[in-house]
Structure 1
């Protein structure tokens, strides 16, 4: 790497480093052998539990050891514990996984164990204890997930976990709060596909439940995505979200001829400014083809011919602008449709 001072190690230093690595490997192999032997003889003792902690701190991707750890908890430690003690053990395990996630934020096993811990939260002595414990856990988990997303806004593990937490919280947060959260993430980085995706799921839920005025919120979404297009017309996430808004999947926006024409016109204005924008061209072709499919019967022959001709011209330009996908555009031109 440039501007990085190279350090020269002596032969003695390199030999010492190799010896340390050999010693660590030997320790790991010995520890692994002992833990697996205990697993085989169904040792569910506290000592076995502590050994799994040591091993997982060395290798948190060792899924078999996570499974064994859960068996030790269920068949050993929990059996001998009161609800309050179980609560304390689960809290400690969540702290362990928090520490591991800081170094290994995308290891499935850690996230899986965290979710398992939440499912084991016991009933307390009273209803208020039970509800209080659970709500405290979920509030903390939401905080952890959102802190992880601050460190890496594209960590899909954290996004998935956050969705799980929101769905399971005893006291639900308003879904509109999720719109505010995803908007902050998008405004911070419009390339955050996970935030756009989460926003689509939240909007769908709100629309289906009748909790949000669909027509009004759609216009707000078009404004949001249009600003993002002008910010970076080459960002794929933005165009995928725009296509989701327009349809033609489960939504019927594609049936709105005026809206389609408005969006085509808006994208054409951007293309006039960014004449080599692949995504502008692809989107205009897609939406003009959609106009022909959905509203062709209401168009005159001249208008249909003009739309087809404009699509063919753009597909020809795309073959030059995006040569890596040259054949795709040739096929689309031959087949007269966009897939």
Structure 2
């Protein structure tokens, strides 16, 4: 899909077809013998590693071959590792080192020929983990520094860089590099992904793994707590707000350079969407044993978010059921007069990793508030009070969204027949609508009216399901 096929298509002569058929039969015969050896565990070849290496070169994507090879390798690792631990044998160390290096070299040669083989990348992961175990063993006996560590992970990052220079969108390599970063800190993923983006603004693989890096790096509980201290309320965002703005400038530059590239808009949309706050906008229904709260967006995992009081007496919450953007809270039945509902953001309140999550499970920015409900013969009225610092933070996010909307409008002026900026604008207006509901519900009609106008423009240049979907979404308001 991006100019890098898994294998080249060739037109073959009759002679070449015949030769390939003969080679195929040889491979089938070899596989038959291999599976016989593998199953019976008798009459093993004298050199099991040489035998499995031959089979791997013949059939590089058959997992059973690598399972067999790993069994042989593990036996050798255990034997040599035991010798090294018992006697600190230089000879055992050299044999271990040679065994590991030759295996990594073999996999590298095979990956050069088959860069998108699941089995090869899985086998390389196994080798990295075994190398780490052997490094741990060496560390434990290396009081005199007579043995050097293998440090396989460092060379793996170099391998990934070289392979991504050949094919920058090989998702096997990206997945492998992402796995490496999960078990080590050598990769400098921030710098690496930025470099790949600057080399090619159309490299959506780099955008995708950059977003995964940000979410993994910034959403650790200790990072969140530190951000709250240094950045006040905006520290609750999945990305620090200053960092978010820097990243937005990078992607805006990419949109200017590649305005017809879908990937840059997706990453821009992720950046704008990941900071959306969510909170209660109104009370829908109250009875003697339940209340329905409406949020500005769909929510999940809000079971531990609420406290309810009736005349200052705490009520026992029996159940919290979520239906889209509504949370139906059932409590012990009694005659209710005046209710108070406290809505907690658990990160803000307790610094807890167990937090309420939004629909995309990335934004943790729940707006805590207190809702006072007064009940009388005519029904009920409510007031929703939010702390000033959260109001200010919501305004900052609203301003950020507005700035991005203005930017996309400028792109539309230059790209009047390009559907991507129109679609982007409609999604950004959706984010703005959600945020506006938290600020002032009465002014949302202006956003809806503008969105419908852009829907009509989009339908003129793009008559397909996405244009219709966006039009249907905005028409429901």
TM-score by length of 1: 0.83
Say if 1:206 and 1:69 are closer, same or farther in 2 by CA, change over 3 A: closer
Give yes or no for the alignment of 1:156 onto 2:196. no
SS in 1 for 2:464: helix
State the 1:187 CA deviation: 1.0
Give the strand-richer structure, 1 or 2: 2
- Cα distance in 1 for partners of 2:474, 2:444 equals 16
Give the helix-richer structure, 1 or 2: 1
Give yes or no for the alignment of 1:224 onto 2:250. yes
Task: Determine the structure 2 residue equivalent to 1:166.
Answer: 181
Deviations 1:272-320 (A, max 9, x none): 111123221122222223222221364585x533321221121122223
Give yes or no for the alignment of 1:305 onto 2:320. no
Q: Which moved more, 1:326-335 or 1:237-246?
A: 326-335
**5+ unaligned residues in a row in structure 2: which ranges?**
1-10, 81-91, 232-239, 277-359, 366-392
Task: Determine the structure 2 residue equivalent to 1:203.
Answer: 214
Task: Determine the structure 2 residue equivalent to 1:139.
Answer: 154
Give yes or no for the alignment of 1:294 onto 2:435. yes
Whether the 8 Å CA contact 2:97–2:150 is kept in 1: the answer is no
Task: Determine the structure 2 residue equivalent to 1:5.
Answer: none
State the 1:269 CA deviation: 1.2
- Cα distance in 1 for partners of 2:162, 2:27 equals 31
Which structure 2 residues correspond to residues 1-339 of structure 1 after superposition, within 5 A?
14=13, 16-42=15-41, 46-75=46-75, 77-78=76-77, 80-81=79-80, 82-121=92-131, 122=134, 123-124=137-138, 125-126=141-142, 132-135=148-151, 137-169=152-184, 172-173=185-186, 177-208=188-219, 209=223, 210=226, 214-247=240-273, 248=276, 249=360, 250-251=362-363, 252=365, 256-296=397-437, 298-299=439-440, 303-325=443-465, 326-336=467-477
Deviations 1:167-225 (A, max 9, x none): 334xx33x7x3222111100111121221122223333443325898232112111101
Tell me the matched-pair count: 318
- Cα distance in 2 for partners of 1:277, 1:129 equals 63
State the 1:62 CA deviation: 1.0
- If asked which structure has higher relative contact order (CA below 8 Å, sep 6+), I would say 2
Say if 1:131 and 1:190 are closer, same or farther in 2 by CA, change over 3 A: farther
**5+ unaligned residues in a row in structure 1: which ranges?**
1-7
Whether the 8 Å CA contact 2:426–2:470 is kept in 1: the answer is no
When the two chains are superposed, the root-mean-square deviation of aligned CA atoms in Å is 2.8
- Cα distance in 1 for partners of 2:413, 2:17 equals 61
